[in-house]
Amino acid sequence: MSCDQYSCSLTKPAIDLVTGKASLLDIWHKTPPLTWKAATLYASWVIFQVFLYMLPDFCHKFIPYFRGGVQEGAVTPAGAVLKYEVNGLQAWLITHILWFANAYHFHWFSPTIIFDNWIPLLWCANILGYAVSIFVMIKAYYFPTNAEDRKFTGNFFYDFMMGIEFNPRLGKWFDFKLFFNGRPGIVAWTLINLSYAAKQQELYGQVTNSMILVNVLQGIYVLDFFWNEAWYLKTMDICHDHFGWYLGWGDTVWLPYLYTLQGLYLVYHPVHLATSSAVGILLFGLVGYYIFRMTNHQKDLFRRTDGNCKIWGRKPKYIECSYTSTDGIKHHSKLLTSGFWGVARHFNYTGDLMGSLAYCLCCGFEHILPYFYIIHMTILLVHRCIRDEHRCSSKYGNNWKKYTDAVPYRLIPGLF
């Protein structure tokens, strides 16, 4: 609404509200309403993504080194091991092939269709986000997928927000958590940016280098997610978070609307970066992506080989530890202290934050709004560090203290 009515300024509406020049109702009345066109578009989009989600994956059969098809997730708190049909890359490719086929050949709709219906689509996304959150809350009480994988805190609002069921499913394969984490929001992310670029072309007759940078850097991030979707099954989002409003609404509204603010801002304020600045931002973002990807790769390699591998050309160092699960069984584990994991305990987050900052730098320094992403990601990842380390401290006990002594910094060596 700030972008729609105040050219992406946050101070102007604040000043208008404080001085009485405008009220919240004035802003509300100028806001585009829900339309049947937007509702039809959004419903068609979600149904199409559900259809693609239910297809068997074929990409892993002809793309070398890609892990797709049926994959196993981590062990749930109740001891179950769920199987997933990993086909996100296939869904992304089919969606974007159809998008470009329409833009350059069929012309069924304008490539600016997302931008042109952006706020009406916001209402649709909210309806879906709340509907899904309410549905999984009811489902958890009356027909849970696995009754033993539920968590009741006794606080209704907390249970609604953070979720009760660990992996709510419909049938054997439709997994709410994987679908909403990966589709429709993340598949849409790159389409939204392409729609912004098309709008720039329509309004100004050109696409700025800053818009191209945002599309390229965020496109790499999205493609990385789908290329490594099988690996994602072992991350905190899937392994530890229950499914409620936090993920249901967050993935349908928060992610597509707030993670794409840089492209939206550049429609209203086209920024032409100097060549040196554009190259510098590109390299900074790529270095951040390299750190993010290689840090995760080192941990994945270490786990898959049980430490029988080389990291940075050497046999990895690690700390042997053990823990007892809720069923009383004792497990053994290893905490890696080599490679990037010897630099900081969450150096993958450091790379992620570098990439996040690169997106924002594409927008220049006139407004704070496009920097929301780096502010949000810093809060999110620092909080995630604390959550993860609290869990690991409880899990590993004294061995975790040995690990933090060996790798004393969380994100930035020498600082934090």
Alpha-carbon distance 163 to 245, whole Å?
7
Alpha-carbon distance 82 to 109, whole Å?
40
Alpha-carbon distance 62 to 197, whole Å?
32
Alpha-carbon distance 378 to 20, whole Å?
34
Of 232-236, 336-340, 403-407, least confident by mean pLDDT is 232-236
- Residue 133 pLDDT class (50, 70, 90 cuts): very high
At what angle are helices 209-227 and 185-204 packed, to 10 degrees?
Answer: 160
Cα 295 to Cα 230, 240, 311, 348, distances in angstroms: 16, 20, 10, 5
Alpha-carbon distance 196 to 240, whole Å?
35
* Residue 78 structure tokens: 């109740």
Cα 231 to Cα 63, 170, 216, 302, 373, distances in angstroms: 17, 23, 23, 13, 24
Q: Is the pLDDT of residue 296 over 80?
A: yes
Task: Give per-residue pLDDT as tens, 83-101.
Answer: 999 999 999 999 999 999 9
- Residue 324 pLDDT class (50, 70, 90 cuts): confident
Q: What are phi and psi of 84, to 5 degrees?
A: -130, 145
> What's the mean pLDDT in 396-414?
92
> What's the mean pLDDT in 400-407?
93
pLDDT of 229 reads 94
Q: Is the pLDDT of residue 270 over 90?
A: yes
- Residue 239 pLDDT class (50, 70, 90 cuts): confident
Q: Where do we find the tokens 């062990």? A: 75
Q: How many CB atoms are located within 10 Å of the residue 399 CB?
A: 17
Task: Give per-residue pLDDT as tens, 29-44.
Answer: 999 999 999 999 999 9
- Residue 67 pLDDT class (50, 70, 90 cuts): very high
SS3 383: helix
Q: Is the pLDDT of residue 79 over 90?
A: no
Identify which of 248, 219, 257 has the alpha carbon closest to the alpha carbon of residue 4.
Answer: 257
Bigger pLDDT: 352 vs 239: 352
- Do 413 and 344 touch, CB atoms closer than 8 A? yes
pLDDT of 331 reads 78
Q: Is the pLDDT of residue 76 over 90?
A: no
> What's the mean pLDDT in 163-171?
94
> What's the mean pLDDT in 204-229?
97
What letters, b where the CB count within 10 A reaches 16 and e where it falls short, cover 195-231?
bbbbbbeeeeeebbbbbbbbbebbeebbeebbbbbbb
> What's the mean pLDDT in 65-93?
91
Alpha-carbon torsion angle 67, 70, 71, 76, nearest 10: 160
Q: In the chain, pLDDT over 70 holds for what percent of residues?
A: 100
DSSP 276-297: HHHHHHHHHHHHHHHHHHHHHH
Q: How many H helices and E strands in the chain? A: 21, 6
pLDDT of 327 reads 67
Of 48-57, 222-231, 237-246, least confident by mean pLDDT is 237-246
Q: Is the pLDDT of residue 323 over 90?
A: no
Identify which of 129, 371, 122, 372 has the alpha carbon closest to the alpha carbon of residue 257.
Answer: 122
pLDDT of 139 reads 97
Alpha-carbon distance 244 to 130, whole Å?
10
pLDDT of 237 reads 77
* Residue 41 structure tokens: 């578009």
- Do 144 and 159 touch, CB atoms closer than 8 A? no
Q: Is the pLDDT of residue 77 over 70?
A: yes
Q: Is the pLDDT of residue 326 over 70?
A: no
The mean pLDDT of the chain is 94
Alpha-carbon distance 125 to 42, whole Å?
8
Strands (E), 128-185: 169-170, 174-175
SS3 170: strand
